Structure 1
Amino acid sequence: MTKIQFFQSYHVGSEIKLTEQHQLQLVSCFEKPGENPDGILSGRAAVSTIQLKDIGPAIVKNYTRGGVIRNFNRNTYLKFSRYRCQSEYELLLFLDRLGVSVPQPIAFAYRGRFFYHAWLVTEEIQNVCTLAEFSKQNPDETRTVMQDLARQLDILVENHIHHVDLHPGNVLVDNEKNLFIIDFDKARTTPQNRHKLQKKYIRRWRRAVLKYKLPAVLNNIFNNRK
């Protein structure tokens, strides 16, 4: 069960029992600017790395805005229903139970009530690159990785989960050719049927492949699609 604790003006939630030392480490990380990842389709989120005692290496994502609004408001959100960090944290827990390969969620945090800043803490996956980068370096092995991606996308579709910004930069591949899907902060459930949801995934994915001139092997994200 997720427990939310109040610590130094931050609300920190987790299913893991976080000690005062953990919370001190996290708050220290929250108060430092994160770094934007480099690489193709690496995203806009500012992230930091941290070594949590008795837990291990972790990634701290600071939620930041995109588009034109980013020029005026970089990382403050207005609360309409749930905090974005809490929604993504709980979705990652659910996806892990379904068998989708996602980074293990550790905690989420927010500061403020109606106008708030937010953070998500997940395990750090060692020795990874994005699928976009992997496909350029290992075109033959990419076919095998794509089969695993198709299997995991089938799980998302069967459970009516729409990752609205899924592209090859939001899929990580480690040294063992294991893949992990990331950045579910805009994901949502949808009543749409399987066919319509598949089409949405394919349209967004192929737009990125075409725009960034990625290898054609990336186009086939569902086993039954050409």
Structure 2
Amino acid sequence: MLLNRTIDSYHFGSAVDLAESQLRPLTGLFHHSASSGVSILGGRTAVIPAQMDGIGSVVIKHYRRGGLLRYFIKRRYLKLGKTRAQREFELLDTVGKFGINVPQPIAFAYCGRLFYRAWLITREIHQPVSLASLSLQDEKKTGRAMASVITQISSLIQNQILHVDLHPGNVVADTAGTVYLLDFDRGKVYHGTRQQLKNRYRTRWQRAVNKHGLPKILTEMMQNGLK
């Protein structure tokens, strides 16, 4: 069950009870310029690091539009039911219970009624390196990371969960070598067959690897692992 709290014009949701003293400092960061990094795959991130009392290091994800609409409405969305931040928060919580390594969701927030802006707060992953970058540096570590990726994707398939944009830029390893799957925005329960879902994962992965000229080990291990 989600716990809700409103602070000024910001509406928060979380799975555990968070005090106003923990959440209010975050509101001062919501409209700061987020650090934007361009990965090897060209994907953009928009996050702000922060500290939360009793939680520790977290990151605040800003939701930004893609496609042509981003030139007209960059960060606002029409509110029809749950916000994007709430949907991703709930999906991260769900897949985490399946044993899949994802950023631990702490809270989500939004402001606005008809049109809204939204933010997702997750626990920070320590010094993450994307699988795309790792594949260009260390083949042995890449092989170990891919074995973990395949296990986790297999679990997503078994549980009928579609990550709509899973590619080597949305997979990271921390300093301990733990592999995480990122960016479940727009992810959902898949209503086709598991074979169809498996094919979607393989096709999206291979397209990204080929397009960006990444090492073939990424495709070969994926094809062999998801038979």
Structure 1 length normalisation: TM-score?
0.95
State the match for 1:103 in structure 2. Answer: 103
Deviations 1:97-125, CA, capped at 9 Å, x for gaps: 11000010000001012211000000001
Q: Residues 150 and 222 of structure 1 are in contact (CA less than 8 Å); yes or no, is this contact kept in structure 2?
A: no
Q: Which amino acid aligns with 1:206?
A: Q
Could you tell me how far apart the structure 1 residues matched to 2:156 and 2:54 are? 32
Residue of structure 1 in register with 2:17 after alignment: 17
Amino acid at match of 1:221: M
- From the superposition, tell whether residues 99 and 222 of structure 1 become closer, same or farther in structure 2 (CA, over 3 Å): farther
Q: CA deviation at 1:143?
A: 1.1
CA RMSD of the aligned region, Å?
1.4
1:117-146 Cα offsets, whole Å, 9 max, x none, are 000000001021111001111112211111
Closer, same or farther in 2 for the Cα pair 1:188/1:225, shift >3 Å? closer
Cα distance between partner residues in 1 of 2:188 and 2:74: 23
- Comparing 7-16 with 29-38, greater Cα deviation is found at 29-38
Q: Tell me the distance in 2 between the aligned counterparts of 1:147 and 1:49.
A: 30
Residue range with higher mean Cα deviation, 126-135 or 31-40 = 31-40
Deviations, residues 8-27 of structure 1 (Å, cap 9, x unaligned): 10001112222222122110
Equivalent-residue separation in structure 2 for 1:225 and 1:190 (angstroms): 17
Where structure 1 has 5 or more consecutive residues not aligned to the other structure, the ranges are none
State the partner residue of 2:87.
Answer: 87
1:194 and 2:194 correspond: yes
Compare 17-26 and 94-103 and name the one that shifted more: 17-26
Q: Is the 8 A contact 1:42 1:170 kept in 2?
A: no
Partner of 1:62: 62
Q: How many residues align?
A: 226
Residue 221 of structure 1 aligns to a residue whose secondary structure is helix
Long gaps (5+) in structure 2: none
Q: Is the 8 A contact 1:160 1:194 kept in 2?
A: yes
Q: Which residue is 1:174 aligned to?
A: 174
Aligned residue runs from structure 1 range 45-56, under 5 A? 45-56=45-56
Runs of 4 or more, structure 1, over 6 Å off, are none
What is the CA distance between 1:41 and its match in structure 2? 2.6
Preserved CA contact (<8 Å) 1:42 1:130: no
Q: Give the superposition deviation at 1:31.
A: 2.1
Match of 1:221 in 2: 222
Cα distance between partner residues in 1 of 2:72 and 2:213 = 32
CA contact (8 A) 1:163 1:186 kept: yes
- Counterpart of 2:22 in 1: which secondary structure? helix
How far, CA to CA, are the matches of 1:11 and 1:163 in structure 2? 26
Equivalent AA in structure 1 for residue 146 of structure 2: M
CA deviation string 1:81-111 (max 9, x = no partner): 3111011101111111110000100000010
Return 128-137 or 39-48, whichever deviates more. 39-48
Partner of 1:203: 203
Q: Secondary structure at the match of 1:206?
A: helix
Give the equivalent residue in structure 1 for 2:131.
131
Among the aligned pairs, what percent are the same residue? 41
Q: Could you tell me which amino acid in structure 1 is paired with residue 180 of structure 2?
A: F
Shift of 1:222: 5.4
- Whether the aligned pair in 1 keeps the contact of 2:171 and 2:179 (CA below 8 Å) is yes
* 2:51 counterpart SS class: strand
Deviates more, 1:125-134 or 1:19-28: 19-28
**Take 1:108 and 1:12, find their aligned partners in 2: how far apart are those partners?**
6
Distance change >3 Å, CA 5–CA 42, structure 1 → 2: farther
| Corresponding position: 1:30 with 2:34 | no
Q: Is the 8 A contact 2:46 2:63 kept in 1?
A: yes
